[in-house]
């Protein structure tokens, strides 16, 4: 932690806790919006491999806007394990680039819930908490996935991110291998 006066430290911690609670509320709201599981294909199996015991290995690349820095772009690898059907927990990283600034690297836990599915389509919502040398950040995202096969998906994702002092909005193109 940085060396801050006591009142500033308390305010910083309160802001971080508020951000984490907002992220958990967003994820819980997405989970409660669950209306239909992934539709089965002609073989009686879920078309998308998002069941318990599955593993997701993904990579996303995107660009967006930050309230402090302006334009941002990023590359984000992730690996997640499905502990229960349609809910995965794992680790995610990110390299964020801004004009005239050294790249910033982030790493932290992630949680994704697949709340809707139809034929070769699925939708998900997730939360990530990143740690970095410049400070922590919370990312909330939602995405639409097109499953090219039972094990491979591609699709856009929209992200909202806050480092508790500024806000970013980004769009990603995510590629996922589901094994």
Residue pLDDT, tens place only, 8-32? 655 666 666 666 655 555 555 554 4
Measured CA to CA, the distance from residue 92 to residue 110 in angstroms comes to 6
**Per-residue model confidence as pLDDT tens digits over 69-113:** 778 888 999 999 998 888 999 999 999 888 888 888 999 999 999
Per the confidence metrics, is the pTM higher than 0.85? no
Decide: 30 and 125 in contact? Cβ < 8 Å: yes
Domains of the chain (ranges, CATH numbers): 6-178 (2.40.160.20)
**Per-residue model confidence as pLDDT tens digits over 129-141:** 999 888 889 999 9
- Tokens for 114, please give them: 């697949």
Strands 70-84 and 152-162: unpaired
Measured CA to CA, the distance from residue 66 to residue 142 in angstroms comes to 18
Percent of the chain past pLDDT 70, that is, above it, reads 73
């Amino acid at each position: 932690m940085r060396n801050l006066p006591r009142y500033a430290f308390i305010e910083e911690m309160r802001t971080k806790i508020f951000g984490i609670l907002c992220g958990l509320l967003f994820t819980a709201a997405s989970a409660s919006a669950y209306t239909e599981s992934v539709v089965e294909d002609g073989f009686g199996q879920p078309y998308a491999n998002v069941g318990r015991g599955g593993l997701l290995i993904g990579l996303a690349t995107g660009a967006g806007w930050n309230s402090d820095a302006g334009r941002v772009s990023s590359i984000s690898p992730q690996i997640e394990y499905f502990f229960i059907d349609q809910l995965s927990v794992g680790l995610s990283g990110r390299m964020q680039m801004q004009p005239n600034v050294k790249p910033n690297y982030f790493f932290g836990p992630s949680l994704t819930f697949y709340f809707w599915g139809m034929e070769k389509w699925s939708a998900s919502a997730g939360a990530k908490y990143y740690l970095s040398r410049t400070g922590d950040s919370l990312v909330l995202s939602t995405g639409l996935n097109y499953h090219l096969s039972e094990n491979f998906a591609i699709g856009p994702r929209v992200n909202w991110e806050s480092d508790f002092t500024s806000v970013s909005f980004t769009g990603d193109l995510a590629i996922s291998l589901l094994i």
